[in-house]
């Protein structure tokens, strides 16, 4: 029933749309067109997030699934005397994770210029201790692919402080089933939710409860998309990435179910329900703790919403850098969500 190639297609299209937090309209418009094609009603909030609704048999209690289209990025902080750009970070990453990456500069008047993110002291033929230079806002800069030699040259292009910088995704799908790209956090999950909607529509699945799909656009900077959560919402699951590393159970081949992150434990009975569904339907999963992590679901609790909250997602390697996952992880995540939305409430 789950067609993982369709999920991959959505992901490939999504990651190519520039959408650092604060600059997400094009990505939201892409998802909006999908819901229009599926004839699913939706609304776009004043903050720019999207909330779609699929009517269920019981409309007195609702479920909500969320994923976010906003990504890491940067903003022009200053134009240097050389004409190069100093940057201000958007989202939580390390400068070394984007050093050497191609980027795009998005000006206020709609112009787009390309460039490369470099440490100022890059050339080992000039700077003896190039490898020891701090990777920070002082030393990282953008080399613009235009003939600029001064601040004035760059200003004449229309580039100014406050312009958004997006990172090139460099998406690639391997014959062995890996998807490697920037911004799999969290566009992999958005792709999964889009395919989930397609399956529900194509199979004419009658959901037991009304289901909302919230595509948020400020997750990477901690706002979440929670201002328009319907009051009938009982269960709220963030579909985000599973973090991989030393001491983590999560891998690139299973669905990760989060027990606890930096905000504290997720709802125990809801987590138990997800694990039970995975076992019953032979869905491969891992339960994990993410020590330096927060989600839109935990943001909803901080905002005061009285919901049972959970967090699941595909396992993503090298999070907030050049990320990678496998089609098996996408499949298991989608399968668990499909079983969940047809199951009883906790």
CA 3 from chain centre, in angstroms, equals 21
| 220 annotated ligand-binding residue | yes
φ, ψ dihedrals at 131, nearest 5°? -70, -15
320 is in an annotated binding site: yes
Q: Considering the chain, what percentage of its residues have pLDDT values greater than 70?
A: 100
State the pLDDT at residue 8.
Answer: 98
Catalytic annotation on 99? no
Q: Are 316 and 254 in contact (CB under 8 A)?
A: no
Average pLDDT over residues 287-304: 93
The pLDDT assigned to 226 comes to: 80
- What's the average model confidence in pLDDT over 337-344? 98
| 49-83 confidence digits (pLDDT tens) | 999 999 999 999 999 999 999 999 999 999 999 99
Q: Please tell me whether 68 is known to bind a ligand.
A: yes
pLDDT digits (tens, 9 = 90+) for 99-151: 999 999 999 999 999 999 999 999 999 999 989 999 999 999 999 999 999 99
Distances (CA, A) of 221 to 160, 163, 299, 312: 22, 17, 11, 20
The pLDDT of residue 223: 83
End-to-end CA separation in angstroms for the chain:
25
Supply 91's token pair.
Answer: 């989202």
- The whole-number pLDDT of residue 1 equals 87
Catalytic residue (one of 219, 235, 323, 335): 219
Please write down the long-range contacts of 46-49, taking CB distance under 8 Å and 24 or more positions apart.
Answer: 46/227, 47/217, 47/218, 47/223, 47/225, 47/227, 48/24, 48/217, 49/214, 49/215, 49/216, 49/217, 49/218, 49/225, 49/228
pLDDT of residue 225: 73
Q: Domain coordinates of the chain in residue numbers?
A: 4-71+183-341, 73-167
Share of the chain above pLDDT 90, in %: 96
pLDDT at 224 over 80: no
CA–CA gap between residue 114 and residue 168 (Å, rounded): 10
Put simply, whether the predicted model's pTM sits higher than 0.85 gets the answer yes
- Whether the bond between 12 and the residue before it is cis, its omega within 30 degrees of 0, is no
**What DSSP string describes 61-129?**
EEEEEEEE--B-EEEEEEE-TTS-EEEEEESS--GGGTTT-EEEEE-TTS-EEEEEEEETT--TTT-TT
Position 122 scores a pLDDT of 94
Contact between residue 99 and residue 140 where contact means Cβ atoms under 8 Å apart? yes
Tokens linked to 128: 């003896």
CATH of the domain spanning 4-71+183-341, picked from 3.30.43.10, 3.90.920.20, 2.40.100.10, 3.40.630.10: 3.40.630.10
Name the average pLDDT for the chain: 97
Are the C-beta atoms of 71 and 240 separated by less than 8 Å? no
Kindly give the pairing relationship between strand 209-216 and strand 58-68: parallel
User: At which residue do the structure tokens 């909302």 appear?
Assistant: 212
Which CATH number is correct for 73-167, 2.40.30.40, 2.70.70.10, 3.40.190.10, 1.10.10.2840? 2.40.30.40
pLDDT digits (tens, 9 = 90+) for 159-196: 999 999 999 999 999 999 999 999 999 999 999 999 99
Q: In the prediction, which pLDDT does 249 show?
A: 97
Nearest-angstrom CA–CA distance, 321 and 78: 24
């Amino acid at each position: 029933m789950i067609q993982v190639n369709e999920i991959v297609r959505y992901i490939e299209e999504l990651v190519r749309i520039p959408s650092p937090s604060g600059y997400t309209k094009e990505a939201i418009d892409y998802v909006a067109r999908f819901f229009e094609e599926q004839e699913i009603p939706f609304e776009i909030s004043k903050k720019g997030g999207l909330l779609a609704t699929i009517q269920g048999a019981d409309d007195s209690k609702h479920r909500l699934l969320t994923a976010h289209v906003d990504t890491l990025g940067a903003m022009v902080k200053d134009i240097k005397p050389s004409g190069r750009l100093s940057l201000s970070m958007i989202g939580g990453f390390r400068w070394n994770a984007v050093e050497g990456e191609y980027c795009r500069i998005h000006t206020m008047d709609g112009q787009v210029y390309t460039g490369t993110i470099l440490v100022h002291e890059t050339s080992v033929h000039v700077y003896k201790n190039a490898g020891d230079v701090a990777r920070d806002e002082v030393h990282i800069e953008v080399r613009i692919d235009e003939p600029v030699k001064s601040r004035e040259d760059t200003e004449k292009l229309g580039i100014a402080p406050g312009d958004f910088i997006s990172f090139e995704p460099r998406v690639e799908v391997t014959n062995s089933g890996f998807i490697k790209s920037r911004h799999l956090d969290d566009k992999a999950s958005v792709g999964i939710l889009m395919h989930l909607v397609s399956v529900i529509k194509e199979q004419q699945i009658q959901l037991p409860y009304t289901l909302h799909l919230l595509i948020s656009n400020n997750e990477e900077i901690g706002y979440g998309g929670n201002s328009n959560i319907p009051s009938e919402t009982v269960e709220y699951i963030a579909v985000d990435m599973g973090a991989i590393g030393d001491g983590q159970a999560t891998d690139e081949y299973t669905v990760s179910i989060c027990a606890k992150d930096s905000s504290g434990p997720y709802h125990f009975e809801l987590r138990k329900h997800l694990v039970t569904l995975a076992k019953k339907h032979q869905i491969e999963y891992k339960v994990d703790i993410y020590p330096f992590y927060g989600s839109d679901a935990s943001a909803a609790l901080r905002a005061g919403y009285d919901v049972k909250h959970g967090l699941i997602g595909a396992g993503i390697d090298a999070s907030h850098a050049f990320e990678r996952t496998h089609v098996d992880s996408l499949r298991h995540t989608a399968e668990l969500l499909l079983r969940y939305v047809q199951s009883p409430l906790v």
